[in-house]
Structure 1
C-alpha cells in the first residue's frame, strides 16, 4: 500500500514514511495539549490517532528495511 501511495504522489517511500511520522508527532502534541487544556475526549481521540499513525509508520518502515535487506543479499 505504501508503494502505491508513494508512486501516486511521485515521492519515495522513505519520504512518505517520514512525512507520516511528522504527522504523527503533530497529532500526539495536539492531542496532549487538548487533554491538558480540558478537552479530554477530543484530546484523547487525537492522541490515539497519533499513536495509531506512529505505529503504522513504524511497521511500514520495518517492512521497507526488510525488503531492502532482502534485495541486497545474494541467493
Structure 2
C-alpha cells in the first residue's frame, strides 16, 4: 500500500513515512492541547488517531527496512 501511494504522489516511500510521522506528531500534540484545554472527548479522539497513525507508520517503516535487507543477504 505504501508503495502504491508513494508512486502516485511521486515521492519515495521513506519521504512518505516521514511525512506520516510528522502528521502523527501534530495529531498527538493537538490532542494533548485539546485535553488540557478542556475538550476532553475531542482531544482523546484526536490523540488516539495520532497513536494509530504513529503505529501504522512504524510498522510500515519496519517492513520497508526488512525489504531492503532481504536483497542484501548472501546465499
Interval of TM-score (by shorter of Structure 1 and Structure 2)? over 0.9
Q: Note the 1:1-75 alignment, pairs <5 A.
A: 1-75=1-75
When the two chains are superposed, the root-mean-square deviation of aligned CA atoms in Å is 0.6
Task: State the shift of 1:74 in Å.
Answer: 2.9
Name the TM-score, length of structure 2 as normaliser: 0.98
Alpha-carbon distance, 1:31 to partner? 0.1
What's the CA shift for 1:72? 1.3
> Which 4+ residue blocks in structure 1 deviate beyond 3 angstroms?
none
TM-score (norm 1): 0.98
Q: How many residues align?
A: 75
Runs of at least 5 residues in structure 1 that lack an aligned partner in the other structure = none
CA distance in 1, matches of 2:72, 2:12: 18
